[in-house]
Amino acid sequence: MILRWLYSLLLLIVAPFFIYSLYKSKPNKPKFGKRWKEHFGFTPTLDNPSKYVVWFHTVSVGETIAATPLIRAYHHSHPEHTIVITTTTSTGAEQAAKLSNIAQHRYMPVDFSFAIKRFIRTIKPQKIFIMETELWPNTLAVAAQNNVEITILNARLSARSCLRYKKFQRIFNLLSQNIQQVLCQTKDDAERFLSLGLNDQKVKITGSLKFDINISSEVISAGLSLRKEIAKDRPVWIVASTHLGEDEIVLEAHKSLLKEIPKLVLIIVPRHPERFEQVYQLSQQQGFKSVRKTSKQPVNQDIQVFIGDTMGEMLMLIGAADICFMAGSLVGEKVGGHNLLEPAALAKPCLTGPSYYNFKQITEQLIAANGCTICNNSDEIYQAVKKLINDPNLQKQSGTAALSIVNENKGSLQKTLSYLL
């Protein structure tokens, strides 16, 4: 109890900074509007709730996309249950809105006991399913006090995080004592949770939900349409989810590539919406003929750089390319890479930088299958892209190898669903 009091006091101090960051106006970021009150537990009652309410917490866009097939499968198994999805961010809310026919969205309250109590009193959930390792002490404690069963989905625990928890074992014990199930992505994740003292009856290995990617024919068709619009029969490569400091490296590689492959088009997709305009201006300043997707300008066949400045359309953008470089991997230890499974599921040859510790197992599986190449710098990106563009057979073999890794590892959704039900 003392630990929770201390935590709540610390939260009170840092909450204004967190809330300011959350509400800060940014280009292309949806507004919270009058719904800001939900972050403090003033949650609207559910529309036509059933006697059994399940609550999925998915934080933001990535987690919501990963959880979507599971939420659909859960609804198919139990259409009589009311499903509530909470996200912290407005971009996550925008993604959750795509499930409005089967689930209702609410914003996740800040982790104050009073806000969580008010939320649970209004929603009255029987179970909460939390994507990945979003562990908030007051949320877990209040949920347990109200007999809400807690399951962590798609759980992962890096070696670094495990060591941190071991240094503050009492804090981890405070979190874990309220959890009924931890469904882990890998054996390594499970072993780390067990090393922290979690009961082995609570820990299960289900694989990663992210392998269970079902790409709709609509998305594939939209990717092909975009390809015709921006490139027709020109070669295209995409750099997905760039962070500050990576765009310059990528554009340098593209400049070298254009000298040998003049018709080549680069799609570049910044990770954060507030950087869309910045990356567009950088591309223009470096002399590239550039256009933003949202500009609604006709895409001339002399365009060299296409800025993907939308949210939730990454699959479509990757589908329009021949090769995908996954960013977040060129900025040292800051980010740790992003998920390569989306380009792999689209049978695209994958490239990434040397920092991919957040997706170590997935990346190493793709490397071993010759579906992914590590590029340490601009020159290595240039060499890898040139090699693949100039060798269509190699390009096809690499993309097929990447897809095979996705297909071999599918099944997490059904395993996860069996534990939830």
Residue 43's contacts (CB-CB under 8 Å, 6 or more residues apart) are 106, 107, 109, 118, 119, 122, 123
CA distance 221 to 54: 34
> Does the active-site annotation cover 408?
no
Residue 150, CA atoms < 13 Å, CB-side half-sphere: 23
Catalytic residue selected from 63, 132, 246, 342: 63
CA distances from 297 to 172, 266, 411 (A): 53, 17, 43
Q: How far apart are the first and last CA of the chain?
A: 32
Q: Regarding beta strands 236-242 and 203-205, do their DSSP bridges make them parallel or antiparallel, or are they unpaired?
A: unpaired
With b meaning 16 or more CB within 10 Å and e meaning fewer, what string describes 118-134?
Answer: bbbeebbbebbbbbbbb
Contact indicator for 322, 348 with CB cutoff of 8 Å: yes
Sheet holding 372-374, edge to edge: 290-292, 305-307, 265-270, 236-242, 323-326, 350-352, 372-374
**Structural tokens at position 181:** 């199930």
Contact indicator for 19, 39 with CB cutoff of 8 Å: yes
Phi, psi of 180 (to 5 degrees): -90, -35
Residue 10's contacts (CB-CB under 8 Å, 6 or more residues apart) are none
Catalytic positions are: 63
